[in-house]
Amino acid sequence: MAPPENTGVSNAAQAPQPSRFDPKFTQHVLDTMGPNVEPRNRQVLSAFIRHLHDFSREVELTIDEWMAGVHFVNELGRVYAESNKTRNESHRISDILGLETLVDEIAHKIISDTGSDPTSSAILGPFWSPHAPFRENGGTIIQNPNPTGRVCLMHGIISDLVTGKPIPGAVFDIWQASSNGKYDFQDPDNQTPNNLRGKFRADENGKYWFYCYHPTAYSLPRDGPSHQLLQMMDRHPMRPAHIHIMVSWSLIVSRRPALEANVAPAQVTHPEYKGCTTQLYPKDDPWLSTDTVFAVKDDLVVDFKPLQGDDKAELELDYNVILAPKDYKGKVF
């Protein structure tokens, strides 16, 4: 057998602990992997097995607890299969354990060396749609008004982390639940497809502006395995009110629409940018510090202000987005 690859696992996690259990067992399991394992798979699976074993030894996992875990995993997949793949409880469990937020941080963390920071990332969640239509700046994403919805004029500038200059033609994709806490796909009786969804293209000054709703807090489903786990952890199922946004600019995605949008070709000389998928939260939301999926970050907490002199909206949100160039590395660790 080939020598084991360097797994990249930290020494801290591998440090032998005094134990009454066989100290060679975990290495024996790892050593059964053959020579033809992809190096990345070997690294990930080895670390997973080490942590699974260390966890089990640390808590002296009982047979009943292990079996409860096996049943729980089966239950997650049963719900997915029986819901015809519309209810992904495995995804939701990974969210309530903080895993999606953590992999989002791992994928997108940038430590800036420019004095300002790019807009923080937050999880995509299950409700983004690739089919949101482009709409004109000044338009609205509210296609099916709800009488309890509070209309907001949202606007801002999309700019470059390094130069501070605006990014004309950047795409600002927004989606949100209605004021009943439901997205279009969850609420076909009240909402037509693409209600509260839209893409806007920043103008020649990097500005975007449109009408949306002040967002509404909502609960994860109050049945099923993820709710059982929340109850076991004495946790609430609430997400704070939020607006999802995905802001991007790339040659491939943007050149043709940018030209169509009458941005002069000479302006299409920017570098490409790392896209930013994130969520914005009203600063007075009661669930900010205990968001059930842990997706709140300081720079994503925003202030909705009363708006005077606009018949269409009672609130205003001014939110600027900062994108890092695609090749920007920041501080290297």
* Binders of a second copy in range 94-113 (CB under 8 A): 94, 97-107, 109, 111
Candidate list 37, 259, 302, 307; residue touching a second copy; CB under 8 A: 37
**Subset of 169-228 contacting a second copy (CB under 8 A):** none
Can residue 299 be called a binding residue for a second copy (CB under 8 A)? no
Closest by CA position to 71, among listed 298, 63, 269, 293: 63
Instruction: With residue 160 as reference, give the H or E element that holds it.
Output: strand 151-160
In this structure, what token pair is assigned to residue 33? 């992997």
Minimum distance from CB of 324 to a second copy (Å)? Answer: 15
Helix (H/G/I), strand (E/B), else coil: 243: strand
Pick the closer one to a second copy by CB: 9 or 251: 9
Closest by CA position to 301, among listed 243, 238, 222, 217: 243
- The total of other beta-carbon atoms located within 10 Å of residue 153's CB is 19
**Subset of 145-174 contacting a second copy (CB under 8 A):** none
Can residue 333 be called a binding residue for a second copy (CB under 8 A)? yes
Can residue 126 be called a binding residue for a second copy (CB under 8 A)? no
Pick the closer one to a second copy by CB: 110 or 263: 110
**Subset of 7-26 contacting a second copy (CB under 8 A):** 8-10, 12-13, 15, 17-22, 25-26
In this structure, what token pair is assigned to residue 283? 């600063």
Pick the closer one to a second copy by CB: 53 or 150: 53
Minimum distance from CB of 304 to a second copy (Å)? Answer: 25
Pick the closer one to a second copy by CB: 107 or 252: 107
Closest by CA position to 178, among listed 145, 219, 221, 220: 145
Please, are residues 297 and 101 in contact by the beta-carbon 8 Å criterion?
A: no
Strand 305-306 and strand 315-318: the pairing is antiparallel
Residue with tokens 């997205």: 183
Can residue 5 be called a binding residue for a second copy (CB under 8 A)? no
Pick the closer one to a second copy by CB: 109 or 165: 109
